[in-house]
Structure 1
Amino acid sequence: MQEFRRFVRGPVGKVLLAAIILPFVISGFYGYFTGGGSDSTVAEVEGNKITRAYVNSRTQQLRQMLRQQSPNINESMLDSFIRPQMVLQGIVNEQLMIAAARNADMAYSDSQAAREIRDNPAFVDNGAFSETRFEQMVRAQGMTPQGYLDGIRQERISQQYRGAFAGTDFALPNELAEQRRLGEQSRDIRYVRLDLDGLRRNVTVSDEEVNAFYEEHQDEFMRPEQLRVRYLELNPSHYADRIEISDEQIQGEYQARKQMRESASTRRQVAHVLIAVNDDRDEDAAVARAEEARQALESGESFADVAAEYSDDAATANSGGELGTVEPGALPESLDQALEGLSVGDVSEPVVSDAGVHLLKVESEQKAETAPLAEMRDQIVADLQRAQAQSMLSEDLVTLEELIYEHANLEVPAEQLDLPLETTDWVSLQNLPAPINNDQVRQALNSDAVREQGHNSDLLELGGDRFVAVRLQDTQAAEPQPLAEVRDDIVAQLRLRKARDRAAELADQARTAAEEEGADLNRLAELLNGAVEEQSGLQRGAAEPDMAVTDAAFGTPRPADGETSDIRFVDLRNGDLVAFQVTGVEDGAVQALPDEQQRQALRELARVEGERTFRQVMAYLRDNLDVELHPNRLAEGESQPAGQPQP
């Protein structure tokens, strides 16, 4: 039993367990495992439950997207930034929009979503939609094809709802004129700056002060524990020089792909008429109307005319009912079955699906074709090399896992599998070299088995088919750094402290002088050891003399013409202090822009107002729809793929 447990914990055991579990994940039993009890429901929106598994799945998807965009991103930072609690709020907002959209009778049909999938270049292989590629990519995201379809449908409905507010707002010329008057306004200021760096340069620090600080703060100048780590790595590139692909293998693989491709089902150009089932028409009435449309076709009317008159699919009714080119599996099962028995030009009997009742017509069909071997050769060679490397890797993983468990060192495993055995220089745990700079490695090096008992680590899977085993060769305990090494840092800290203390004294004197004695900027310049400077034509958002000063200047009440504002003070992030007063204000242009620029500016202002309106709508939905949150039920960590909430 102990041997079995060790095997299951290792990467090989995990791979085999995944192969065993996967059929359950993608089968009808899936809903049984993720249906969950009340403790797995982390939120409800209008009675629609959002499960912990779904939130964790969406969290992992977002993290994976960021990993793909930034491969070198720090994992711990990623986990801290993309958290289930944050993702849950986004999902709740999605469900609020969907619920409100449903209440407003907004819809996006399955056929529209299916067409969007077929038109997605990511699912195209050899110039045509590939059901296999689609399913592989969807499964890789932890979703089912139906779940992906539902996701598109819900996303488009949400966009419709958002667009109803964000995309329909408008702005008037007088609003634009006022925005320009304020937005393009400029201000003149006079100011004096207390320069912390200048104070720091004039500060002196004695040896006695340095020694005293060192003695009192030795815990701040500790050299972290140093390690020397031995490690070996196994990855597919280890086999690159061992793999040779023969012409016979390439030809055999090409013929296999060609046969599979050419034996695939025919691609068909399909059109349809959809009779919707709704509150005004049940399924029997929809079938009767479909029969009526079919009779119109038999009497000689064109399919395009019948679609325009009878079809409830707004996206296709005025374009001949065209659904585009489809392959088996692209449409709901009932429609696929109906298409199987149709030839070019045939029209089906009424077919029922979740979307309603359909009449289908096959307008053309095309046999699958295979590209010439010359065009596919490089891809075939790469696929065969990858497959062989994976096969060799899988075999060696079993051996390596046994060797690192059975031997008291890494030399024997490295020698038997011809792997390079590396040893680091003295490094801290947080500053490991690139090949092993990974949180899993840090956890292994901190484990009792490796640190206290001197064993090899388990075989660690670091991602990208990289597997590493580590062993702690030697350690040096944490110890205080010599004073000579940290003296410069101590001097810098003491200078900064003294400068800040002096700056605080001067700032207090300046504020007292301005507020109680009515001192002007010239007097404050003397107190702050600075000079009075001027900035004319200061624009909103300007970085000079400082963004905080700019914001404060535009937040100061407008002085009367010919007068100046009161003196105001701004503490800057770098420790400086600025005292300023506004000496002049010039409004932005109020005359109308040229016609095209005026239209563009009004559209942009309308967009901004629309987004603001939409945020108010979301706040209203939060307050008025039935929303229950249980964020305490969220659990961090890996989760199985989960079906998404259904509206």
Structure 2
Amino acid sequence: MQEFRRFVRGPVGKVLLAAIILPFVISGFYGYFTGGGSGDVVAEVEGNKITRSVVNQRVERVRDMLRQQSPNIDPSMLDSFVRPEMVLEGLVNEQLILAAADNAKLAFSEKQAARDIYQVPLFQENGRFSEIRFERELRSRGLTPQGYIQGLRQDMLKEQYRSGFMATNFALPTELQEQRRLGEQVRDIRYVTLDLNALRSDFSVSDEDIKAYYDQNQAEFMRPEEFRVAYVKLSAQDYTDQVSVSEEDVAAEYEVRRSIMEESGASTARKVAHILVEINGDRDLEQAQTRATEAAQAIAAGGSFAEVAAQYSDDPGSADAGGDLGVVSKGALPEEMEEAIASLEPGMVSDPVVTDAGVHLIKVSDVVREQDLPTLEELAEQIRADLKQGRAETLLNEDVARLEELLYEHSDMTVPAEQVGIEVVSTDWVSLSSLPEPLSARQVQQALNSDQVRKDRHNSDLIETAPGEYLAVSILDDKPAEPLPLEDVSFAIRERLKGERAADRVQELSAQAEEKLQQGASLDEIAALFETGIEEQEGLQRGGAEPSMEVVNGAFALPKTAKGESSAIELTRVGDGSLVAYQVTRVEDGNAEPLSDAQQQAALLELGNIEGQRNFRQVVALLRDEGDVDLNLQRLSSSSADQ
């Protein structure tokens, strides 16, 4: 069983998962934070527009998420891995899935989304939902509750659609048996290696050879164009020492928060149940009201609310639970229901209430004190920090506005910096491809490459490089690209020439080995040609990396040999350019040890999940083929926005 798991979770499996998950992992929690934004339309999917600004926002959020998970990740690798084109593919797939879910009449109501929000740990304090924390978290991301709920609904609809394919696949015991036979199969090999790196020592390179190569390939040995860059920086942190918050300020803010909480009813909640009679294609408003009245009469005649809900309610999420919606706070339900709930005492049932969903009968069974505002002493430090941050941001925003105007009005940064009271910082000579902190942000590099800054030598616009941090740059001086001195590159040239000659030797011996194999040569004869010994490795498994991935994959691609026989000899190049000749000497199928019932059930579920993933990839591919998708990839680059 362990070998089977290793097979399905090996390198091939990881690549498979990446292909499945990557287009969708960029939605999830971050999917709630995409706004409409402005910018050129880079794609239109089933009538829905995707703008460049939305793609760029999602790119940065995904990169931020990966930076948090791997703080030491190489920024250049991150930029090359999370590309706008890749993110756009994911956004297009999301829109296609949402359109397909809508066509399939899938639904996830705002009420269901609101109930789910209560379970999010991020919005809880002491294990209970905190409306203050909820609003604070959304506000910090520039969101409204309605926008968050809409994003949550969309994510759940996508998951419903995906689960419809993923959760309905299964595997048969015969499939599992065959997978185990192949997946847990092991093979033994004999092989000889012609090591390219070892061959380097057989060759010498003269100084004349190095000089000739240097002269003939001058363009490869150029120091890139370099610049001295000036910049000014504004940061909210720099203003915190300039503001103060008194005890009176803290007390006044506490009273404001307490009043808001009391007026909003956030400190109380009610345990609510309802009966929903839907308005749909088979029932208009008048018919729904008539049915709701019948339900009310059944309750008045002595029927329990739970029994009547089971008989009359069209809400599949609550009908079988007596209509129970749980404990809800103010703002969680439609306004019409909120007004009715506010007028009910525990045990009372409302008159029919009409909302967009239909006609409701509502019962309040209890009023609970959900939470109290912490005391002034408990909140004082947080309030002081919030006020200080807010006042620092106010000063920052004032200087941002002033500096933007001054940078536009002046040809250099000296006067703008003096007017705002900040320092102009100058770098040493740097290339634009390796800018130091804090200039390494992608937006800064784009600004330095713009005609405004690089060609016309004007100040850049003020760039927000991070929340509360702004930069402007200008170029003080430039140094054109120039050849690197020969002594600086002679070692690299020597090694390159040795490598090229070793590669030529490998190619020559490869041709000789091919000829010998065609004549029926043995592995011993190939080892003699390569002037090296024969090595053996037992128990190779699929996806292994020893002696090399190419050799392992090749060995498992060969036909199964009869017991006691060896396969034909194969030649293959490995990643470093070396040449390997190998043959399979033994094959042993997997599935030797029977699985327990529990192990077999787990393995069948895992195989069914893999099949479901494959099917869903095919579904997305079909949606892509048949969907109305119009891409404008050239607009992904801001430099082409005006073209």
Scaled by the length of structure 1, the TM-score of the pair is 0.83
1:424 is aligned, of 419, 427, 450, to 427
- Deviation, structure 1 residue 622: 5.8
Name the CA distance, whole Å, in 2 between partners of 1:92 and 1:241.
47
Match of 2:198? 198
CA contact (8 A) 2:97 2:161 kept: no
CA displacement at 1:260 relative to structure 2: 1.9
- The answer as to whether partners of 2:93 and 2:620 remain within 8 angstroms in 1 is no
**Across the two proteins, how many residue pairs are aligned to each other?**
594
TM-aligned CA distance change 1:51 to 1:135, over 3 Å? farther
How far does residue 586 in structure 1 lie from its aligned partner after superposition? 0.9
Does 2:577 correspond to 1:596?
no
Cα gap change, 1:85/1:437 in structure 2, threshold over 3 Å: closer, same or farther? closer
Of 54, 58, 77, the residue aligned with 1:57 is 54
Give the secondary-structure state (helix, strand or coil) at the position aligned to 2:628.
strand
Contact 1:261 1:369 survives alignment (8 Å)? no
C-alpha separation in 2, matches of 1:491 and 1:56: 48
CA distance in 2, matches of 1:95, 1:629: 14
Residue by residue, what CA displacement relative to the aligned partner does 1:93-146 show, whole Å, maximum 9, x if unpaired? Answer: 4136414632xxx54344323322343334447876566765676687787655
Cα distance in 2 for partners of 1:429, 1:633 equals 25
Amino acid corresponding to residue 494 of structure 1 in structure 2: L
Aligned to 1:341: 343
- Aligned equivalent of 1:627: 627
Matches within 5 A, 1:7-406: 42-44=44-46, 49-53=47-51, 57=54, 60-61=57-58, 63-70=60-67, 73=75, 77=80, 80-83=83-86, 85-95=88-98, 97-99=100-102, 101-102=104-105, 106-124=106-124, 129=129, 145-146=145-146, 148-265=148-265, 266-366=268-368, 369-406=372-409
Q: Find the aligned partners of 1:416 and 1:81 in 2 and give their Cα distance.
A: 39
Letter in 1 for 2:302: G
Could you tell me which runs of 5 or more consecutive residues in structure 1 were left unpaired when the two chains were aligned. Answer: 1-29, 639-647
SS, match of residue 364 in structure 2: strand
State the percentage of identical aligned residues: 45
- What is the CA-CA distance between 1:617 and the residue it aligns to? 4.5
CA contact (8 A) 1:276 1:357 kept: yes
Q: Which moved more, 1:288-297 or 1:464-473?
A: 464-473
Other-structure match for 1:532: 534
Query: How far, CA to CA, are the matches of 1:281 and 1:596 in structure 2?
Result: 49
Does the CA contact (< 8 Å) of 1:185 and 1:588 recur in 2? Answer: yes
Pairing 1:494–2:491 present? no
Q: Verify the 8 A CA contact 2:271 2:364 in the aligned structure 1.
A: yes
Task: Indicate the larger mover: 461-470 or 437-446.
Answer: 437-446
Alpha-carbon distance change, 617 to 484 in structure 1, aligned in 2, over 3 angstroms: closer
Question: In structure 1, what is the Cα distance between the partners aligned to 2:181 and 2:83?
Answer: 43
Counterpart position of 2:513: 510
The aligned residue for residue 21 of structure 2 is none
Name the CA shift for 1:176/1:100 in 2 (closer, same or farther; >3 Å): farther
- Paired amino acid for 1:478: A
- Once the two structures are TM-superposed, the CA of residue 473 in structure 1 deviates from its matched residue by 2.7
Contact 1:97 1:158 in 2 (8 A): no
CA–CA distance in 1 between the matches of 2:249 and 2:148?
A: 37
Cα distance in 1 for residues equivalent to 2:281 and 2:458: 70
Flag the structure with more relative contact order, 1 or 2, with Cα contacts below 8 A and sequence separation at least 6.
1
Q: Which digits, 9 at most, give the CA deviation of each residue in 1:190-235, with x for residues without a partner?
A: 1111100011122211111101011111111111122222222111
Output aligned runs, 1:611-622, within 5 Å: 611-619=613-621
d(CA) in 1 for partners of 2:451, 2:170 = 66
User: Hey, what's the Cα distance between the residues in 1 that align with 2:514 and 2:206?
Assistant: 32
Residues 139 and 91 from structure 1, CA distance in 2 versus in 1: closer, same or farther, beyond 3 angstroms? Answer: farther
Specify the code of the residue in structure 1 equivalent to 2:262: E
| 1:111–1:323 CA contact under 8 A, matched in 2 | no
C-alpha distance in 2, partners of 1:181/1:393? 67
Separation in 2 of the partners of 1:464 and 1:252?
A: 28
Distance 1:394 1:472, change over 3 A: same
Match of 2:10 in 1: none
Corresponding residue of 2:464 = 461
Q: Which moved more, 1:414-423 or 1:459-468?
A: 414-423
Residue matched to 2:586: 584
Equivalent pair of 1:62/1:82 in contact (CA under 8 Å): no
- Change in Cα spacing, 1:311 to 1:628, as seen in structure 2 (3 Å) is same
Mean Cα displacement is larger for which, 451-460 or 383-392? Answer: 451-460
Say yes or no: does 1:475 pair with 2:478.
Answer: yes
Q: Using the alignment, how far apart are the partners of 2:152 and 2:401 within structure 1?
A: 42
Q: 1:65 to 1:274 in 2, by over 3 A?
A: farther
> What are the superposed Cα offsets for residues 281-338 of structure 1, whole Å, 9 maximum, x if unpaired?
3333322221111112222332222222322222212323221233343222332333
| CA contact 1:334–1:353 (8 Å) conserved in 2 | yes
8 Å contact from structure 1 (residues 63, 78) kept in 2: no
In structure 2, C-alpha distance between the alignment counterparts of 1:166 and 1:254, rounded to whole Å: 50
Name the CA distance, whole Å, in 2 between partners of 1:622 and 1:401. Answer: 44
Please say if residues 268 and 366 of structure 1, whose CA atoms lie closer than 8 Å, have aligned partners that are also in contact: yes
Q: Which stretch of structure 1 is more off in the superposition, 243-252 or 214-223?
A: 243-252
- Where 1:268 maps in the other structure, the secondary structure is strand
- 1:556 aligned to 558, 578, 583, which one? 558
Query: In structure 1, what is the Cα distance between the partners aligned to 2:83 and 2:173?
Result: 46
Note the C-alpha offset of 1:425. Answer: 1.6
Q: How does 1:444-455 map to 2 (within 5 A)?
A: 444-447=447-450, 450-451=453-454, 454-455=457-458
Given that residues 93 and 624 in structure 2 are in contact (C-alpha distance below 8 angstroms), is that contact kept between their aligned partners in structure 1?
no
Which residue, 605, 608, 611 being the options, matches 1:606?
608
Q: TM-score, normalised by structure 2?
A: 0.84
Q: Distance in 2 between matches of 1:401 and 1:99?
A: 46
Deviation, 1:446, is 4.2
Secondary structure (helix, strand or coil) at the match of 1:263 reads helix
1: distance between equivalents of 2:102 and 2:92?
Answer: 15
Residues 629 and 240 of structure 1, relative CA distance in 2, 3 Å threshold: closer
* RMSD of Structure 2 on Structure 1 (CA): 3.2
What is the CA deviation profile of residues 511-539 of structure 1, one whole-angstrom value per residue up to 9, with x for unaligned ones?
Answer: 11102x11111111121232211111111
Summarize the Cα distance change of 1:445–1:587 in structure 2 as closer, same or farther, 3 Å threshold.
Answer: closer
Check the 8 A contact 2:214/2:493 in 1, yes or no. Answer: yes
